[in-house]
Structure 1
C-alpha cells in the first residue's frame, strides 16, 4: 500500500507542477496557563486560495507526529485541541494541489495560529472556475465521515445553473423532476425515491414545505445566487434529523467570512424559450466585506431577479379509465374525459440573502443567515376536452354507449405565489477540548392562489366519445365530420363547468438546537458528541369555493378568442377555439355583474348555504423532540462513527367534518385529532482510509418518513346518494415509514481533480407512506353505524388511509470524474464526468387485489455523461442525462401509472476576458424541438393508453458576469 501511495503522490505532484504554497507567519492568539511543557496547547488556522482569496473547505490537515487529522470547514478553518508544547509537522492535502508539509512550533500553554495560502502563481488555472468548484466539492466529499456528494460554487460564488434543482442534475443517483408548465427542474429524487422522502435544509434549518398535499420542497423557488454549496447526504449520522429515507439535501448560503477580502459580483442575462419566442431579463449580484477591529465583523448581501416566459402543451385523461365491461379491464378501457391543453406560463423569481458574522472572541463566533425566495407563477390555459356521455353500466354490466358526448372549450387563468423564508442564528463557542454549537431558526413556506378562474362552455356532439384510436402516440377520439365542424363553430356552446377556488397553504417551523462536542487528547477516541433539538411545524390549509355560476350564458356572448394549433408539437388534432382572455381574467367580476343584473344567473355556492370554507381545510401542529449521542474512534487506517438518535413526535389537528345527507342542508362540524410516535434510530459509519486518496466506506442507518398531514388531518366526509352513505376519514393513527439502510462504497480520488467510485446500497422500508399516494382501507364501521345522525340509513363504504406493508430498493452506483491537464496544449483543458445508478425495487401494499410491483418514483436506471473543457479562459460542458421509466402512482383497477424514460442534453459555454469579465450561454434540453414529451405517463408500462404527456421546448440563458 505504501508503494501505491507513493505513486499517487508522485502523479499528483507532476500533474499540479508549478503550484506554490505561501505560509503566513504564526502568531499567538491566546495564552492560558504558561506553566510546564505538559500544559495543554492548541493549533488553529485557515487555508485560503491565492488570487480569488476564497476560503478552501475540505482541506485535510494532518499532524504527522500524532496522526490526528481534521478538515477545513466552509470558512477554511481548522483546529487541533489538546496538544502538548513542541514542534509539529503539518500536512495540507487538497485536490488540485500537491500535498505540502509545514513545521509549526507551539509554545507551552499557547494556542498557535498557522494560516496557509495555496496557489500563489498564475499556473493554478487547474483549481479556478468550474474546476475549482469541482476541486472543493470532491475535497469535501473525500474528507467526510459519511457518503455524500457536494456541488460547490466557484471561487466567486457562482453556480452554472439557474436554480437549486438544476444544479443537482449531475450528481450520481439524483434525478430531477421538472415543473410541467415551465420545463424547469423543481424536485430532486435521490436514488430514485420521491423527493417527499428527502430531508431538505437551508442553512441548517428544515425548509418549510409550501405544497398543500405533500412534504416536497420545490427547489425551483431557490435561485443559486449566494449559495456556496449544495450537499446530498446519502447516509445519515446520528446528529442528522430522523427523516430522510431518500437522503438529505443541505443548501448553504455564503458569508463574508468565506473570503479574505471584499467581493463584488454581478450578472446580467437574458432568458429565451423557443416555443414562447420571448426574451426576458435576469439579474443577480453579491456584495461581501469584512470590517471592524481585526476584521471581526462580516456582511454579505445578495439578490436575484428574473422573469421567464414559456409555452407548451399537455394532453391527458382527467378521470380514472372506464372498462367496457364493469370491473373487467381486460375488456378494454376508455377515458371519461380527455384534454388537449395549451398553456402560456410566465414566472418571476425574487431571491434575497443576508449573512452577518461576528467573531465575538477567539473562542466564540455568531452567524446570522437570512434567505428569502419568492416565485410568482402566472398561467393561462387554453383547452378543449371531450367528455363521454355517461359512465353508467347496464344491467348486464356493459358500459352504456348510447349517450352522446360533449365538447368543452375550457380556459383557466391562475396566479400562484410560492414563498420560502429561512432565518437562522447559530453560535459556536470553544472551551478547551469542548465545543458548544447552538442555534435557533425560523422558516416559513406559503402557497397562495389569488386567482384561479376556470370557465368552460359545452356543446353536445353526435359521438359517444367512448372510443379512441390508440395506434399512434396520441389518442384520437371517435368524431364524425359533423362533430369536427361543430367543435370549431362557436355557435351552440353554452355555459358549462366554471369555478373560482381559493387555495392557500402555509407551513411554519420554529427550531432550537444545542450540541456539545468533546475532543479528548491522545486517545483513539477522537470525539464524543451529544445534542438535543426541539421543532414545531404548523401546517395550515385554507380552501374555499368562491364562485360557480349557472345561467343562460353562451360562448358568443362571453367572447371568443383565437384558434389554438397543436401541430407545433406534432399533435394530430385540429385547431380548437379559445375564450376571450379579458373576460376570463375578470371572471369573478363578470359573473357577479350577471348575477346582480339578471335573476336567471345564480352563484351555486351561495345558494348551497354560503359556506365559504371547504371541508379539506385544516390546521395541524407537529412537535418534534429529538436527542442523540455519538462518538468517533480512530484506529490506524480505520475510523468508526456511531450512535443513536431518539425522535418523539406529537401531532394535533383541527379539521372539518362535512355531513351531506339527501334532502338536508350540508352541515360542517369542527373535529380534532391527535397522534404521537417515537422512533429509535441507530446509525453506524465505518471508513477504511489506507491513504488520503483512497476510502472504503460502510454504513448502516435507520430513518423515517412522516405521514402527510393531509392523511392524518383529512376531512371527515359523510355523503348520501340513493339512500346509501359513504364515509371517508383521515387517520391520526398513521405511523411514519421506517427504513433500514445499508451502504458500501469504494472511492479513489485523483490529485488532478477526479474520482473513481463504486457503491452498493439496500433499503427496506416498513409501513411506507409516500407523497400523493396512500393506500385506502376499511375504517371502523361501528362508529358510524351507531351514529344517531345516520339512524335507519345504509352504511356502504367507510374508507380511511393506511400504511403500506413494505418496500425494498437495492442498487449499484458508479461515478467517474477526471481532468486531463497532462495532455499537450489545448487538449489539457479536457475533462469528463459520468455516473450511473442501476437499481431494483418492489413494494407490497398489503392490500387485497393489489399485486407487488415497483416502488413509486424508483427508476431502474439513472445515467449521466458529460465532456468538459477549461483552458485559455474558456469553460464548456456538454452533458446528457437519462432516467429510465418509473412507477408514479395507482390508477383505476389498481393499475400503476408509469412515467416513460426521459433524457436531456444540456450545454454550457463561457469565456473569461479582461480578468474580471465572463460571457456565457447555457442551454437546457438542446434536442427538444417541442415534439418530444418531457413527461410521458402511461396506464401501465409501455401501454398505448396515455395518462398524460407534456410538451415544451428548449431554453437558453446568456449574458455577462463581472467579478471584483
Structure 2
C-alpha cells in the first residue's frame, strides 16, 4: 500500500537525533556517565532512577536490546505488559476495543515475536485458536520487575523469533532488602457510557542475608461501552450492508504471584516462583444489520433510497478468557571453574471463546423496511428508516411511517448460533546452562554451553462456524415458555457518540442468555442437543511437540571490540492429530514431522569510549506455524473437489539478517541511538487458495491430488527492513527547576513485503511504515508529570488471526500521568488515557471504503500508591 519510507518522518527523526546528540555532548562536562554508575538509587526520582538502571543493563548487554524497568512502567498509565512495552522503540500494539493485546515489533506480524518469562519460553494461542500469538493483555504490568525486547538473539535464547524476543522478568525478594510493602489503589471512569475503572495491587516481600520470600496480587477491571459501525461493499463500492453495533464490555485482568529464594552460600542460589494471570472479557452485543443490498430502488456509494430492505438483529452475552499458570524451580551455582544455571518450568495456557449468538430476522417481505441512507461522511452513514406499505402494483411497496426508534419485536425468525472454541496448552521445560572462562586458540574466551528440552501438548480448536443452528421457537418451550424477542427489549436507548439518524434500544442480553442456557440444558436432557457438536471435527486438533535444543557460544575480544559467536541446534518433533470430514463421515488423520535446524549468530559490541557503544549483529531465526494453521483437520467435498482446513505440510518461516546501532549515553539517565536492521524471510505464511499436491488427503480408491485447497500456504521470500531513532534524557544540566524536565522520544521507519507462490507482492500484516513515541515529563520537588503521545500509520490487519485483507487506519494515542509524593512512602496519582478520544478505523483497500469504525472514549483514574 505504501511504496517507500516516509521521507519527512525520516528527516524529522534524523534532526531530533542530531539535536539530542549535540545536547548530550554539550552537557558531558563533569557528568557521570551511565557506564560507571555503581549504585542505582531510585527513591525520590523514580523516572530517572529506573531509567538509569535500565540503561546500565542495556549498555552492558551483548546484543541489541531495549530495556524498561518496572519503576518506569509505574510512571505511565499502563495496565498491562503490552501497553508498557509500546513505549519502546519500534514497538507497536494491536488493540481490541481500545485495549492493548498483541505486539507488532519492527512492523512485523505478531507471530514473529516470541515471549519468555524469566528466560523460559512461553507459547501463546490467539483467540481464534490459529496462531502462536502471546496475549499480553493477560499479564498485568505491576507483577514485573523489568521488560526486555531482545532485537538480536544470542545462542542461549530460543531461536523461535524473527524480529524480537520479549522477556518479562518477574520480581525477586532480594531486589529490596528487609521488609518491603508496595501497592496502589485506584478508581476512575470510562467517558463513553460512564462505566467504572478500577485497579489495585499489593506486593509484600522480606529478605534477610540468605533467605527471602514475596507475594503479589493485582487486579484491573473496566466496564465500558464500545461504539462500532461496519460496512460491507459490492464491487462498485456501494454498500450492501450497514452494520450498527454496540457492546457492553466488562474486562478484568487479575494476577497472583509468590516465590521464595535461598542463598545458602556464596555462589549458590535456589528459588521457586509461581505465577497465575487471567484475562476475562464478558461482552453483551447489540447489533443490527441493515441489508440494503437486498432492497429495491436506488443504491450508490454516496446515497440510497430503497424499499424491501431486510434487517437482521443479533444479540449475545459472550465470554472470552485467557489463563496462564507458570511455575519455575531453579538454581544458580558456582562449581569449580563453571557457573551453572538450571531451570525446571511448568506452564499451562487456556484460551476460551463462548459466543451463543441469537439471530433475529423477518419471516416475510411485508415486514421489511424502507431505507434512505446518506454517506456524505463515509465513517458515519445517516439513515432514515420507515415502515413500508403495499404499492399500486401487486408485490410492490412504498415508503410508510418514519421510525425514530428501531425495534425488532415483530421479527418471527429467531435462531441460535452457538460459536465456540477452546485451546489448552500444557508444557514442561528443562534447561541447563554453563559458563566458564577458558582459552581458545591462545585467546581468552568465555565459553557458554547449554541444553534445553521442551515437551508441550496442545488440544484445541479454531473458532468454529460449523455449529448447528437451533430454532429458539423449538428450544424454549422445553422450559415452559415461548421465545419472543420483544420480551427482552428494554426502554433504554443506546448511549452512543456516533450519529445515525435514528435510535435503538438495548436488549436484556443476560436474561436472554439465562433462558437460552436453561433451554439448551433441557434439550440436552431430552437427547436432542450435544454441545460437543458445536465445534466441527475438522476444526479440532491435538498436537504434541518435543523440542530438543543445544548451543555453544564464545565471547572474546577481537577487532577492537567484544564478540559473541555461537551456534544453536534445534530438533522439533511434532505429532498432529485431527479429523477429515467428508459429508457426515469423519475419519482420523495423523501426520508426524521431524526437523533439524541450525542457527548461527554473531553479536559484536565496540566501546568507542565510556559513553559510546557501536553494535553489529548477524542473526538467524525461525517462526513455526500456528496450531490451527498446521492442523490436519479439514472438510472435504468430493463433489466440488474442494478441501478447506489446516495444512500439516507447512514449513516454518526462517530468517537471516543483520543489525547495526550506535548508542551515546548521556547525563540525566539519557541515551541517543540510531539503528538499522534487515530481515530476509523464506516460506512466508499467508492464507490462499491453491491445489492439493500431497497424498495425505487421499482415501482408498480416491485420489484427491489437484483438489482446490483453501488453507494457509507458504509463500516465497520476503524482506523487512527499517531505521530506529531514539532519544531519552532528563535535562539535569539545566539550572534550578528547569533541570526537572526530560524527554523520551523514538521513531521507527519501516518497510517490507513478500512474494506469494503465484508471483504477487503483498504487505506483511502489521507493518506500519512509521511508528513514533514522544513523552515529555517533569520530575522535581515531589512532582512527577508525563504527557505521552504515540502514533502509527496504516497497516494490514491480522488481529488475533481473525482478520484478513483489511487495513487499519493510522491513529494516535495521548496519555497523561500525574504523580505527587506527599511523603517518601505515599504518592497520589491521576492517569488519563486516550485523551484525543480516538476513532479507530479499518478500510478495504481505500480509506473511502471504511469497513469498521470504533470508539471507546477517554478514561480517567485517580488513586494512591504506597511504599513502606
State if a TM-score over 0.5 links the two structures.
Answer: yes
Given that residues 537 and 633 in structure 2 are in contact (C-alpha distance below 8 angstroms), is that contact kept between their aligned partners in structure 1?
Answer: no
2:479 match:
none
For 1:520, what is the secondary structure of its paired residue? strand
1:199 match:
114
1:167 match:
84
Q: How many Å apart are 1:209 and its aligned residue?
A: 1.3
Given that residues 453 and 584 in structure 1 are in contact (C-alpha distance below 8 angstroms), is that contact kept between their aligned partners in structure 2?
Answer: no
RMSD across aligned C-alpha pairs, in angstroms?
Answer: 3.5
2:397 match:
none
Of 521-530 and 569-578, the range deviating more from structure 2: 521-530
Q: Check 1:593–1:159 CA distance in 2 against 1; reply closer, same or farther (3 A cut).
A: closer
1:529 aligns with 2:442: no
Q: Check 1:640–1:796 CA distance in 2 against 1; reply closer, same or farther (3 A cut).
A: closer
Unaligned runs of 5+ in 1: 17-92, 101-115, 324-331, 392-400, 661-665
Q: Check 1:343–1:249 CA distance in 2 against 1; reply closer, same or farther (3 A cut).
A: same
Normalising by structure 1, what TM-score?
Answer: 0.78
Q: Check 1:787–1:889 CA distance in 2 against 1; reply closer, same or farther (3 A cut).
A: farther
Given that residues 817 and 834 in structure 1 are in contact (C-alpha distance below 8 angstroms), is that contact kept between their aligned partners in structure 2?
Answer: yes
1:455 match:
358
1:937 aligns with 2:842: yes
Q: Check 1:755–1:379 CA distance in 2 against 1; reply closer, same or farther (3 A cut).
A: same
- Using the alignment, how far apart are the partners of 1:809 and 1:117 within structure 2? 40
Q: How many Å apart are 1:628 and its aligned residue?
A: 1.1
- Using the alignment, how far apart are the partners of 1:790 and 1:8 within structure 2? 70
2:320 match:
416
Given that residues 457 and 555 in structure 1 are in contact (C-alpha distance below 8 angstroms), is that contact kept between their aligned partners in structure 2?
Answer: no
- Using the alignment, how far apart are the partners of 1:434 and 1:596 within structure 2? 63
For 2:539, what is the secondary structure of its paired residue? coil
Residues 771-817 of structure 1, C-alpha deviations (whole Å, 9 max, x = no match) = xx5333211387768754799xx996344432111211111110011
Q: How many Å apart are 1:415 and its aligned residue?
A: 2.0
Given that residues 740 and 764 in structure 1 are in contact (C-alpha distance below 8 angstroms), is that contact kept between their aligned partners in structure 2?
Answer: yes
For 2:841, what is the secondary structure of its paired residue? strand
1:643 aligns with 2:566: yes
Q: Check 1:157–1:728 CA distance in 2 against 1; reply closer, same or farther (3 A cut).
A: closer
Given that residues 409 and 486 in structure 2 are in contact (C-alpha distance below 8 angstroms), is that contact kept between their aligned partners in structure 1?
Answer: no
- Using the alignment, how far apart are the partners of 2:535 and 2:810 within structure 1? 43
- Using the alignment, how far apart are the partners of 2:437 and 2:523 within structure 1? 75
Q: 2:473 aligns with which of 545, 548, 551?
A: 551
2:50 match:
133
For 2:768, what is the secondary structure of its paired residue? coil
Q: What is the correspondence of 1:42-57 to structure 2 with a 5 Å cutoff?
A: none
Given that residues 443 and 508 in structure 1 are in contact (C-alpha distance below 8 angstroms), is that contact kept between their aligned partners in structure 2?
Answer: yes
1:778 aligns with 2:701: no
1:506 aligns with 2:424: yes
Q: Check 1:361–1:160 CA distance in 2 against 1; reply closer, same or farther (3 A cut).
A: farther
Given that residues 347 and 426 in structure 2 are in contact (C-alpha distance below 8 angstroms), is that contact kept between their aligned partners in structure 1?
Answer: yes
For 2:714, what is the secondary structure of its paired residue? coil
- Using the alignment, how far apart are the partners of 2:679 and 2:499 within structure 1? 41
Q: 2:457 aligns with which of 514, 538, 550?
A: 538
- Using the alignment, how far apart are the partners of 1:782 and 1:206 within structure 2? 35
Q: What is the correspondence of 1:802-881 to structure 2 with a 5 Å cutoff?
A: 802-847=713-758, 851-881=760-790
Q: What is the correspondence of 1:36-115 to structure 2 with a 5 Å cutoff?
A: 94=34, 99=36
Residues 526-551 of structure 1, C-alpha deviations (whole Å, 9 max, x = no match) = 31111111112222115784762253
Normalising by structure 2, what TM-score?
Answer: 0.86
- Using the alignment, how far apart are the partners of 1:638 and 1:812 within structure 2? 23
Given that residues 775 and 804 in structure 1 are in contact (C-alpha distance below 8 angstroms), is that contact kept between their aligned partners in structure 2?
Answer: no
- Using the alignment, how far apart are the partners of 1:550 and 1:691 within structure 2? 75
Q: How many Å apart are 1:698 and its aligned residue?
A: 0.7
- Using the alignment, how far apart are the partners of 1:577 and 1:260 within structure 2? 58
- Using the alignment, how far apart are the partners of 2:342 and 2:131 within structure 1? 30
2:592 match:
674
Q: What is the correspondence of 1:219-618 to structure 2 with a 5 Å cutoff?
A: 219-291=136-208, 295-317=209-231, 322-323=234-235, 332-334=236-238, 337-387=241-291, 404-449=308-353, 451-459=354-362, 470-474=375-379, 476=381, 481-482=386-387, 485=403, 488-520=406-438, 524-542=443-461, 545=467, 548-551=470-473, 555-556=484-485, 558-562=487-491, 564-565=493-494, 568-589=496-517, 591-592=519-520, 614-618=537-541
- Using the alignment, how far apart are the partners of 1:610 and 1:861 within structure 2? 46
Residues 58-87 of structure 1, C-alpha deviations (whole Å, 9 max, x = no match) = xxxxxxxxxxxxxxxxxxxxxxxxxxxxxx
1:765 aligns with 2:670: no
- Using the alignment, how far apart are the partners of 1:927 and 1:313 within structure 2? 16
- Using the alignment, how far apart are the partners of 1:10 and 1:265 within structure 2? 39
User: Larger Rg: 1 or 2?
Assistant: 1
- Using the alignment, how far apart are the partners of 1:341 and 1:652 within structure 2? 42
- Using the alignment, how far apart are the partners of 2:93 and 2:633 within structure 1? 32
Q: Check 1:236–1:593 CA distance in 2 against 1; reply closer, same or farther (3 A cut).
A: closer
Q: What is the correspondence of 1:21-32 to structure 2 with a 5 Å cutoff?
A: none
- Using the alignment, how far apart are the partners of 1:128 and 1:611 within structure 2? 56
Given that residues 339 and 385 in structure 1 are in contact (C-alpha distance below 8 angstroms), is that contact kept between their aligned partners in structure 2?
Answer: yes
- Using the alignment, how far apart are the partners of 1:561 and 1:171 within structure 2? 46
Given that residues 73 and 141 in structure 2 are in contact (C-alpha distance below 8 angstroms), is that contact kept between their aligned partners in structure 1?
Answer: no
- Using the alignment, how far apart are the partners of 1:571 and 1:263 within structure 2? 52
1:624 match:
547
For 2:728, what is the secondary structure of its paired residue? strand
2:650 match:
734
Q: Check 1:783–1:651 CA distance in 2 against 1; reply closer, same or farther (3 A cut).
A: closer
For 1:133, what is the secondary structure of its paired residue? helix
- Using the alignment, how far apart are the partners of 1:301 and 1:895 within structure 2? 42
Given that residues 405 and 503 in structure 2 are in contact (C-alpha distance below 8 angstroms), is that contact kept between their aligned partners in structure 1?
Answer: no
Structure with the greater relative contact order (CA < 8 A, sep ≥ 6): 1 or 2? 2
Q: How many Å apart are 1:156 and its aligned residue?
A: 12
Given that residues 673 and 727 in structure 2 are in contact (C-alpha distance below 8 angstroms), is that contact kept between their aligned partners in structure 1?
Answer: yes
Unaligned runs of 5+ in 2: 1-20, 296-304, 389-401, 475-481
Q: How many Å apart are 1:117 and its aligned residue?
A: 5.5
Q: How many Å apart are 1:498 and its aligned residue?
A: 1.8
1:14 match:
30
Q: Check 1:680–1:573 CA distance in 2 against 1; reply closer, same or farther (3 A cut).
A: farther
- Using the alignment, how far apart are the partners of 1:428 and 1:895 within structure 2? 46
- Using the alignment, how far apart are the partners of 2:179 and 2:763 within structure 1? 52
Q: 1:709 aligns with which of 617, 627, 636?
A: 627
Q: Check 1:465–1:719 CA distance in 2 against 1; reply closer, same or farther (3 A cut).
A: farther
Paired positions, count: 807
Q: Check 1:688–1:574 CA distance in 2 against 1; reply closer, same or farther (3 A cut).
A: same
- Using the alignment, how far apart are the partners of 2:213 and 2:591 within structure 1? 46
Q: How many Å apart are 1:289 and its aligned residue?
A: 0.9
- Using the alignment, how far apart are the partners of 1:492 and 1:305 within structure 2? 43
2:12 match:
none
